[in-house]
Amino acid sequence: MTSVRRAAVIGGNRIPFARSNGAYAEASNLDMLTAALDGLAARFGLAGVEVGEVAGGAVLKHSRDRDLTREAVLGSSLAPTTPAYDVAQACGTGLETVVLVANKIALGQIESGIAAGVDSASDAPVALNDDLRRVLMKLNGAKNLQQRIAALAGLRPGQIVPELPRNAEPRTGLSMGEHAAITALEWGITREEQDELAVASHRNLAAAYDRGFFDDLVTPFLGLSRDSTLRADTSVEKLAKLKPVFGTRGKNAAAATMTAGNSTPLTDGAATVLLGSDEWAAERRLPVLAHVVDAQTAAVDFVHGEDGLLTAPVFAMPKLLARNGLTFADIDFFEIHEAFASTVLATLKAWEDPAFAEERLGLDAPLGPIDRSKLNVTGSSLATGHPFAATGGRITATLAKLLHEKGPGSKGVISICAAGGQGVVALLEGA
Amino acid sequence: MTGDLLRDITQIGLVRKLGVPRIPVLRRYEPGAPLLDGPALVGVIGAGRFAEPIRALLTAAGVADAGDEGRIAAVVLDASAVRTIDELAGVQQFLTPTMRRLQPCGRVLLIAPEPDPADPEAAAVAQAFDGLVRSIGKELRAGATANLLVTTAETDPAALDPSVRFFLSARSAYVDGQVVHVGPPVGRAVDPAAAGDPAPADEPLSGRVALVTGAARGIGAAVAETLARDGATVVAIDVPAAGDALAKVANEIGGTALQLDITAPDAPQRIVAHLEERHGRVDVVVHNAGITRDKLLANMTADRWNAVLAVNLRAQLAINAALGEVLSDTARIVCVASTSGIAGNRGQTNYAASKAGVIGMVRALAPQLAPRGVTINAVAPGFIETEMTAKMPVATREAGRRINSLRQGGLPVDVAETIAWLARADNGGVTGQVVRVCGQSWLGA
Ligand SMILES: NC(=O)c1ccc[n+]([C@@H]2O[C@H](COP(=O)([O-])OP(=O)(O)OC[C@H]3O[C@@H](n4cnc5c(N)ncnc54)[C@H](O)[C@@H]3O)[C@@H](O)[C@H]2O)c1
Closest CB to B277: pick one of A43, A225, A287.
Answer: A287
Looking at the fold, whether B153 and B283 belong to one and the same domain comes out as: no
pLDDT for res A352: 96
Weakest-pLDDT range from A266-270, A284-288, B14-18, B295-299? B14-18
Give the active site residues of A.
Answer: 91, 386, 417
DSSP character for B441? B
- Is any atom of ligand 1 closer than 6 Å to the C-beta of B289? yes
Q: B266 and A212 in contact by Cβ < 8 A?
A: yes
How many CB atoms lie under 10 A from the CB of residue A148?
Answer: 15
Query: In sequence order, which residues have a C-beta less than 8 Å from that of residue B407 and are 6 or more positions away?
Result: B7, B21, B23, B24, B401, B439
A121 pLDDT above the threshold of 50? yes
Does residue B415 belong to any structural domain of this protein? yes
B403 pLDDT above the threshold of 50? yes
Residue B223 Cα, gap to closest chain A Cα (Å): 17
Q: Are B238 and B248 in contact (CB under 8 A)?
A: no
Does residue B193 belong to any structural domain of this protein? no
Of the pLDDT bands very low, low, confident and very high (cuts 50, 70, 90), residue B195 is low
Q: Are B142 and B105 in contact (CB under 8 A)?
A: yes
User: Which residue of chain B is at minimal alpha-carbon distance from A223?
Assistant: B241
Q: B252 and A47 in contact by Cβ < 8 A?
A: yes
pLDDT tens for A359-407 read 999 999 999 999 999 999 999 999 999 999 999 999 999 999 999 999 9
Does residue B417 belong to any structural domain of this protein? yes
Residues of B within 8 A of A35 (CB-CB) are 244
Does residue A366 belong to any structural domain of this protein? yes
Does residue A399 belong to any structural domain of this protein? yes
Q: Is B279 on the interface with A (CB under 8 A)?
A: yes
> Domain boundary residue among B165, B182, B199?
B182
pLDDT tens for B340-379 read 999 999 999 999 999 999 999 999 999 999 999 999 999 9
Length of chain A counted residue by residue: 431
Does residue A112 belong to any structural domain of this protein? no
Task: Count how many pairs of residues, chain A against chain B, have C-beta atoms within 8 Å.
Answer: 69
Q: Around B105, how many Cα atoms within 13 Å sit in the side-chain half-sphere?
A: 18
Query: In sequence order, which residues have a C-beta less than 8 Å from that of residue A125 and are 6 or more positions away?
Result: A60, A61, A62, A63, A65, A165
- Rounded CA-CA distance A235/A292 in Å is 36
pLDDT tens for A312-339 read 999 999 999 999 999 999 999 999 999 9
CA-B337 nearest atom, ligand 1 = 7
Does residue B163 belong to any structural domain of this protein? yes
Looking at the fold, whether B228 and B361 belong to one and the same domain comes out as: yes
> Domain boundary residue among B182, B198, B220?
B182
Closest CB to B244: pick one of A45, A215, A219.
Answer: A219
CA-B262 nearest atom, ligand 1 = 32
What is the torsion angle, in degrees rounded to the nearest 10, for the CA atoms of residue A299, residue A303, residue A307 and residue A308? 90
Number of domains in chain A: 1
Q: What percent of chain A has pLDDT over 70?
A: 94
For ligand 1, atom 18, the nearest C-alpha belongs to B218
Q: Are A382 and A201 in contact (CB under 8 A)?
A: yes
Mean predicted lDDT score pLDDT of chain A? 92
Looking at the fold, whether B155 and B293 belong to one and the same domain comes out as: no
A275 pLDDT above the threshold of 50? yes
Report the CATH number that the domain containing residue A400 is assigned in CATH: 3.40.47.10
pLDDT tens for B68-93 read 889 999 999 999 999 999 999 999 99
- Rounded CA-CA distance B383/B392 in Å is 11
Higher pLDDT among residues B118 and B202, named by residue: B118
- Is any atom of ligand 1 closer than 6 Å to the C-beta of B437? no
Q: A215 and B259 in contact by Cβ < 8 A?
A: yes
Q: Shortest CA distance to B366 belongs to which of B406, B322, B393, B335?
A: B335
Does residue B432 belong to any structural domain of this protein? yes
- Rounded CA-CA distance B54/B38 in Å is 16
Looking at the fold, whether B36 and B85 belong to one and the same domain comes out as: yes
Looking at the fold, whether B244 and B324 belong to one and the same domain comes out as: yes
Q: Are A431 and A408 in contact (CB under 8 A)?
A: yes
Residue B310's domain comprises 209-437
Q: Is A225 on the interface with B (CB under 8 A)?
A: yes
Looking at the fold, whether B171 and B102 belong to one and the same domain comes out as: yes
Query: In sequence order, which residues have a C-beta less than 8 Å from that of residue A318 and are 6 or more positions away?
Result: A351, A361, A363, A367
Does residue B333 belong to any structural domain of this protein? yes
- Rounded CA-CA distance B442/B445 in Å is 6
Q: Is B261 on the interface with A (CB under 8 A)?
A: yes
- Per-residue buried b or exposed e for B389-398, using 16+ beta carbons within 10 Å of the residue's own CB: beeeeeeebe
A1 pLDDT above the threshold of 50? no
Q: Shortest CA distance to B61 belongs to which of B86, B40, B92, B43?
A: B40
Task: Using the Cα atoms of residue B148, residue B154, residue B160 and residue B162 in order, give the sign of their dihedral.
Answer: negative
Residues of A within 8 A of B254 (CB-CB) are 45, 47-48
- Is any atom of ligand 1 closer than 6 Å to the C-beta of B214? yes
B200 pLDDT above the threshold of 80? no
For ligand 1, atom 40, the nearest C-alpha belongs to B290
B198 pLDDT above the threshold of 90? no
Mean predicted lDDT score pLDDT of chain B? 93
- Is any atom of ligand 1 closer than 6 Å to the C-beta of B348? no
Query: Rg of the Cα trace of chain B?
Result: 21
What is the torsion angle, in degrees rounded to the nearest 10, for the CA atoms of residue A292, residue A295, residue A217 and residue A176? 180
CA-B355 nearest atom, ligand 1 = 43
pLDDT tens for A63-120 read 888 899 999 999 999 999 999 999 999 999 999 999 999 999 999 999 999 999 999 9
SS3 content of chain B, % helix, strand, coil (to 5): 40, 20, 40
Looking at residues B98-127, what average pLDDT do you find? 96
Q: Around B351, how many Cα atoms within 13 Å sit in the side-chain half-sphere?
A: 20
Q: A47 and B254 in contact by Cβ < 8 A?
A: yes
Q: Shortest CA distance to A276 belongs to which of A110, A87, A425, A94?
A: A110
Element (H, E) at B99: helix B85-99
Query: In sequence order, which residues have a C-beta less than 8 Å from that of residue B368 and are 6 or more positions away?
Result: none
Weakest-pLDDT range from B190-194, B235-239, B330-334? B190-194
Number of domains in chain B: 2
Does residue A7 belong to any structural domain of this protein? no
B194 pLDDT above the threshold of 70? no
> Domain boundary residue among B147, B182, B217?
B182
Considering the entire predicted model, what is its pTM?
A: 0.91
- Rounded CA-CA distance A30/A48 in Å is 19
Looking at residues B378-385, what average pLDDT do you find? 96
Looking at the fold, whether B243 and B318 belong to one and the same domain comes out as: yes
pLDDT for res A392: 98
User: Which residue of chain B is at minimal alpha-carbon distance from A48?
Assistant: B254
Does residue B268 belong to any structural domain of this protein? yes
Give the active site residues of B.
Answer: 351
Residue A49 Cα, gap to closest chain B Cα (Å): 9
A126 pLDDT above the threshold of 90? no
Looking at residues A23-48, what average pLDDT do you find? 97
Looking at the fold, whether B115 and B26 belong to one and the same domain comes out as: yes
Does residue B219 belong to any structural domain of this protein? yes
Residue B214 Cα, gap to closest chain A Cα (Å): 15
Q: Is B264 on the interface with A (CB under 8 A)?
A: yes
pLDDT for res B81: 95
Of the pLDDT bands very low, low, confident and very high (cuts 50, 70, 90), residue A298 is very high
- Rounded CA-CA distance B48/B110 in Å is 12
pLDDT for res A128: 63
Q: Is B266 on the interface with A (CB under 8 A)?
A: yes
B208 pLDDT above the threshold of 80? yes
Task: Using the Cα atoms of residue A197, residue A202, residue A204 and residue A205 in order, give the sign of their dihedral.
Answer: positive
Does residue A395 belong to any structural domain of this protein? yes
Of the pLDDT bands very low, low, confident and very high (cuts 50, 70, 90), residue B235 is very high
DSSP character for B200? P
Q: Are B235 and B229 in contact (CB under 8 A)?
A: no
- Rounded CA-CA distance A272/A230 in Å is 20
pLDDT for res B191: 59
pLDDT tens for B43-52 read 999 999 999 9
Query: In sequence order, which residues have a C-beta less than 8 Å from that of residue B178 and are 6 or more positions away?
Result: B147, B148, B435, B436
pLDDT for res A151: 73
Q: Around A169, how many Cα atoms within 13 Å sit in the side-chain half-sphere?
A: 20
Looking at the fold, whether B81 and B230 belong to one and the same domain comes out as: no
Measure the N-to-C terminal CA separation of chain B; round to a whole number of Å.
28
B237 pLDDT above the threshold of 90? yes
Using alpha carbons only, what angle is made at residue A125 by residues A122 and A128, rounded to the nearest 5 degrees? 140
pLDDT tens for B1-40 read 457 777 777 777 766 666 666 789 999 999 989 999 999 9
- Rounded CA-CA distance A218/A289 in Å is 16
Residue A426's domain comprises 176-212+293-430
- Rounded CA-CA distance A60/B261 in Å is 36
Report the CATH number that the domain containing residue B255 is assigned in CATH: 3.40.50.720
- Rounded CA-CA distance A10/A291 in Å is 9
Separation of B387 CA from ligand 1 center, angstroms?
10
User: Which residue of chain B is at minimal alpha-carbon distance from A216?
Assistant: B259
Q: Is A34 on the interface with B (CB under 8 A)?
A: no
Of the pLDDT bands very low, low, confident and very high (cuts 50, 70, 90), residue B196 is low
Does residue A421 belong to any structural domain of this protein? yes
pLDDT for res A2: 52
Looking at the fold, whether B238 and B171 belong to one and the same domain comes out as: no
Q: Are A140 and A274 in contact (CB under 8 A)?
A: no
Looking at the fold, whether B143 and B260 belong to one and the same domain comes out as: no
Question: Which neighbouring-strand residues pair with B179?
Answer: B148
